[in-house]
Structure 1
Amino acid sequence: MFSESLVAVSAQPAVELFVARSRGPAERTLLVIHGGPDWDHTYLREPLAELAGRHRVVLPDLRGCGRSSRGLAHDRYTPAEATDDLVALLDALGTARADVLGFSYGGLIAQRLTLAAPERVRRLIIASSSVLPVPPGAFDGRREREERRAPEAAVWSDPELSGPELTRAAAIAGAGANVWRPEALPAYLDRLADVHFSAEWMRSWQAGTLPGARHRDAAQRLAALGVPLLLLHGRQDMIFPASLAEETAMLMPTARAVVIEEAGHMAHIDQPRAWLDAVTGFLS
């Protein structure tokens, strides 16, 4: 289904991105940017693999992630450098313009890519992420959220864990908060078992050199560009409130929100058919 290769995107420092590509027309390229950031792209392959043939689906691992280059100085893991890598990747693939889907943290990188190189982005999908900042107290009073997120919080504070083992353990402990439907949880845990976790971006964060990924005026700047925007969200998302997607759609004439019921942060796991239908409809 996917061919896999390393693609050079930077000489100083030397960076190669591990990239999975499906068959499909180059002029209908969909660039998919994973979240984490210390994850890889593999948890997003399904259901997006169903687009193969109609679209060329391109799923890179960001620098420091998955099977892309690691071991860089901690100050070389920044949203700006990740964005530059993706522009270089489009150049290397001979792709003048692409549709872009950014998931979670990748949604913030996708916004930066669109603002930095608007001529390269045809349509933009922000999935399980947000254009607007999460306001203080956005989840106040949601006891179930506190209960579901407690296991992951305990892992992050465990002094016995570090590096990729910590990232993996946190992802597994957080599964019950990220997937809403209990019946979808076993398949999600199976998917996590195949993720190549890293801790490179964690080093940057711990060193205090990781800048924020969000543009303060992203909504205004994206609206001015007029790029068609889909805000794709799970109603029960416990990371980014679904209400922000709906609020953003009201602020931006070129944006529309699709909020999927009975779906959490990993909405593509909870409701894969509804999620993919929204993507397909927007890209048609």
Structure 2
Amino acid sequence: MKDTVISTATIRMSIIEAGKGPLVLLCHGFPETKYAWRHQIEALARVGYRAVAPDMRGYGKSESPERADQYTVFHAVGDLVALLDALGERQAVVVGHDWGATIAWQAALMRPDRFRAVVALSVPMMGQPPVPPSQIFPQDDSSLFYTLYFQDPNEAEAEFGRDVALTLRKLIFAASGEAGPRLPGDSTPNPFGMVSRSTGLLKSLPEPATLPDWLPALDFDRLVKDFEVSGFRGGLNYYRNLDRNWELQHLTAGLPITIPALFMIGERDTGLSVPGMNQIIAAMPTLVPDLRGSHVIPDAGHWLQQERPNEVSGAILSFLECV
């Protein structure tokens, strides 16, 4: 794999790439970097695809705009289009996980001329809610939903930055398949659930004695070093634009995604503990008429492409053969 920094029309982006052939663009989520796709890049390159994974804006060695309002999904999709141009490519299949999945869905919706198919992991395509997200997320006197906790840089940013390795160890383990099943009402600590106003997010999460087998120490150390350099502000800024995204996305509200699509989620994904998530997944064909599959990967948690690399790579390759 080749690791380079490329200048685009929007920002400088750090990318890893391998292979030659039709382009597949892989977008990571929070708190990850481009190396979350290391297994898929190798699998795609082996069978004749050009696989490119960028550090999204605000992550790793990619540029981090200072203002929080520069992290909308419109900025992120613009970055992907600019990256295609910089790579000399007209079209790509876009693959995303977590926030990368949200961005991939929006890329498919906004620019079907540039993205010919879409694969999303962990986050389904959702319709436009009637009110801004901040009015939907729960909170009370003692706790608030994690997306609300992420809004204040004096809270989450400061907490996460005190010990980067500990933060990542706790977040990754708690959202992994190793942490246990995820069902509505499950009492298993969820990093993407409710957060205590008095103690913050990390205190309630277990600290694993060892890293999961799918995350070797060298790969974890690389992740820690990347966040020690970039900090968490860029990644958290995506959450700070949820209401702004809602306002801007009235432009595309009601439009279907017309390109071929594939969805995957882990059986133990933390997102499945959100009330109504299974209904949202079941309703996706109304928003994505050419949805070619919606797969639940047994025993896997949120970090799907790392926890079950062979299954994910195989499903992507099978999908690509048909689009």
In the superposition, the TM-score normalised over structure 2's length comes to 0.68
In the alignment, structure 2 segments of 5+ residues that lack a partner are 134-145, 180-209
1:200 alignment counterpart:
233
Give the residue type in structure 1 aligned to 2:41.
L
1:180 alignment counterpart:
177
2:102 alignment counterpart:
108
Question: Which of 263, 275, 294 does residue 231 from structure 1 map onto?
Answer: 263
Question: Which of 238, 258, 276 does residue 313 from structure 2 map onto?
Answer: 276
Q: How far off is 1:47 after superposition?
A: 3.7
2:256 alignment counterpart:
222
Q: Supply the distance in 1 between the matched residues of 2:18 and 2:52 (Cα, whole angstroms).
A: 7
How does 1:149-164 map onto structure 2 within 5 Å? 161-162=158-159, 164=161
Q: Deviations over 1:153-200 (max 9, x none)?
A: 9xx998894565566543321222322147981432633321212323
Contact kept in structure 2, 1:234 and 1:267, CA below 8 Å: yes
- CA separation of 1:216/1:171 partners in 2, compared to 1, >3 Å: closer, same or farther? farther
Q: How far off is 1:210 after superposition?
A: 6.0
Instruction: Specify the SS of the correspondent of 2:17.
Output: strand
1:17 alignment counterpart:
13
Give the residue type in structure 1 aligned to 2:221.
A
Contact kept in structure 2, 1:262 and 1:271, CA below 8 Å: no
Q: How far off is 1:97 after superposition?
A: 0.8
Q: Supply the distance in 2 between the matched residues of 1:203 and 1:276 (Cα, whole angstroms).
A: 28
How does 1:65-214 map onto structure 2 within 5 Å? 65-70=59-64, 72-132=66-126, 161-162=158-159, 164-165=161-162, 169-181=166-178, 185-188=212-215, 190=217, 191-195=219-223, 196-197=226-227, 198-201=231-234, 204=237, 211=243, 213=245
Instruction: Specify the SS of the correspondent of 1:39.
Output: coil
Identity over the aligned pairs, expressed in percent? 24
Cα RMSD, aligned residues only: 3.6
1:46 alignment counterpart:
39
Could you tell which deviates more after superposition, 190-199 or 231-240? 190-199
Contact kept in structure 1, 2:17 and 2:41, CA below 8 Å: no
Contact kept in structure 2, 1:204 and 1:210, CA below 8 Å: no
Contact kept in structure 2, 1:131 and 1:218, CA below 8 Å: no
- CA separation of 1:80/1:211 partners in 2, compared to 1, >3 Å: closer, same or farther? farther
Q: Supply the distance in 1 between the matched residues of 2:56 and 2:2 (Cα, whole angstroms).
A: 17
- CA separation of 1:43/1:73 partners in 2, compared to 1, >3 Å: closer, same or farther? same
Q: How far off is 1:108 after superposition?
A: 0.8
2:194 alignment counterpart:
none
Q: How far off is 1:105 after superposition?
A: 0.5
Give the residue type in structure 1 aligned to 2:76.
A
Q: How far off is 1:66 after superposition?
A: 0.5
Give the residue type in structure 2 aligned to 1:41.
K
Could you tell which deviates more after superposition, 187-196 or 213-222? 213-222
Q: How far off is 1:92 after superposition?
A: 0.9
Q: How far off is 1:221 after superposition?
A: 2.2
- CA separation of 1:6/1:269 partners in 2, compared to 1, >3 Å: closer, same or farther? closer
Q: How far off is 1:219 after superposition?
A: 8.7
Could you tell which deviates more after superposition, 44-53 or 156-165? 156-165
Q: Supply the distance in 2 between the matched residues of 1:249 and 1:8 (Cα, whole angstroms).
A: 37
- CA separation of 1:234/1:76 partners in 2, compared to 1, >3 Å: closer, same or farther? same
Q: Supply the distance in 1 between the matched residues of 2:173 and 2:300 (Cα, whole angstroms).
A: 12
Q: How far off is 1:272 after superposition?
A: 2.1
1:30 alignment counterpart:
24
Contact kept in structure 1, 2:25 and 2:95, CA below 8 Å: yes
- CA separation of 1:212/1:125 partners in 2, compared to 1, >3 Å: closer, same or farther? farther
In the alignment, structure 1 segments of 5+ residues that lack a partner are 137-148
Q: Supply the distance in 1 between the matched residues of 2:163 and 2:127 (Cα, whole angstroms).
A: 27
Q: Supply the distance in 1 between the matched residues of 2:176 and 2:236 (Cα, whole angstroms).
A: 27
In the superposition, the TM-score normalised over structure 1's length comes to 0.77
1:6 alignment counterpart:
5
Instruction: Specify the SS of the correspondent of 2:316.
Output: helix
Contact kept in structure 1, 2:264 and 2:295, CA below 8 Å: yes
Q: How far off is 1:252 after superposition?
A: 3.6
Contact kept in structure 1, 2:104 and 2:120, CA below 8 Å: yes
Q: Supply the distance in 2 between the matched residues of 1:274 and 1:43 (Cα, whole angstroms).
A: 15
Instruction: Specify the SS of the correspondent of 2:29.
Output: coil
Number of aligned residue pairs: 259
Instruction: Specify the SS of the correspondent of 1:92.
Output: helix
Q: How far off is 1:278 after superposition?
A: 0.9
